Structure formats: C-alpha cells, structure tokens
C-alpha cells in the first residue's frame, strides 16, 4: 500500500508536466501555423515555416515523454494487483484459521494458549468494488 501512495503523486506530477508542455506546444504550433498562413511575404513565410517545424519537433519530443506516464500508470496498476492478491491470501488464511479455531480440541487449546477465537477479515472499501468513471 505504501508503494501505491508513493506512485500516485509521481503519476500526477508527471501527467501535469507532460500535459502542460503539450498544451504550450500546441498553442505555439497553432500560432506559428496561423502566422505562416497569413503572411504574404515569401521570405517571412519561409521563416515562419521553420518556426512551425521547430514547434512540431518540440511537440514530438514532448509526446516521447508520454510513455513515462504509461509506465508509472502500469506500475500503479501492478501495485493495485499485488494489494488485491495479498488481501485475498490474507482473507483465505483468516477463513482457514477461523474454521480450525472453532473445532474441538483446537478451540479449547487455543483459548488456553491465548489465541483469539476468530480473526477479522481484511475489509474492502465499498467504493473499491465499483469501477471508476471518467
């Protein structure tokens, strides 16, 4: 669970950074493209065309950072799967313990040795049972 809590801020920061860069670059590309279209001077159009090319290259480099978001997202998904798997294993072990603890002579010896009659299951948040909506 600690890994989950460590990954979420990283995912948010990386996503904000990538999306912020992309927004800025798209705005710069739109401006450069509009300026290139509206310019009547051939030399000015060539220079503005170079700025469009530079903006396209910067946008391509920013899009190359997008897989980083996917990698962190995949790591978060893996952490969530491990949590679910360990929750299931714990609950299975508790069910086995509770079944054995309620049977004689284990029930008698368990109380005598100070073992609890039953363990609690690891609860699952009700919100986690519902699929997220975007």
- pTM for this model (two decimals): 0.58
Evaluate if residue 134 carries a pLDDT over 50.
no
What integer pLDDT is reported at residue 85 of this predicted model?
A: 93
Task: Please state, in angstroms and rounded to a whole number, the distance separating the CA atoms of residues 65 and 88.
Answer: 36
Instruction: Output phi, psi for 75, to 5 deg.
Output: -65, -40
* Phi (first) and psi of residue 53, to 5 degrees: -60, -40
Mark residue 114 as left, alpha or beta (left: phi above 0; alpha: psi -120 to 50; beta: remaining): left
- Write the pLDDT tens digit of every residue in 67-105: 888 888 899 899 889 988 998 999 999 889 888 887 888
Burial class of residue 98, CB neighbours in 10 A (0-12, 13-18, 19+): middle
**Quick check: helix, strand or coil at residue 100?**
helix
pLDDT at 1: 76
Query: ω before 105 within 30° of 0 (cis)?
Result: yes
> Domain residues of the chain, as ranges?
2-124
Distance CA 98, CA 91 (A): 10
- 107/3: higher pLDDT: 3
């Amino acid at each position: 669970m600690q890994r989950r809590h460590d990954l979420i801020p990283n995912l948010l920061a990386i996503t904000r950074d990538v999306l912020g860069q992309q927004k800025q670059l798209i705005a710069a590309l739109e401006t450069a493209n509009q300026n290139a279209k509206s310019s009547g001077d051939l030399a000015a159009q060539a220079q503005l065309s170079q700025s469009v090319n530079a903006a396209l290259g910067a946008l391509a480099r920013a899009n190359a950072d997008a897989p980083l978001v996917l990698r962190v997202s995949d790591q978060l998904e893996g952490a969530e799967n491990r949590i679910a798997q360990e929750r299931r294993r714990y609950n299975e072990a508790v069910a086995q313990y509770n079944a054995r603890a309620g049977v004689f002579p284990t029930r008698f010896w368990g109380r005598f040795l100070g073992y609890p009659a039953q363990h609690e299951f690891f609860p699952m948040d009700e919100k986690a049972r519902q699929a997220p909506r975007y």
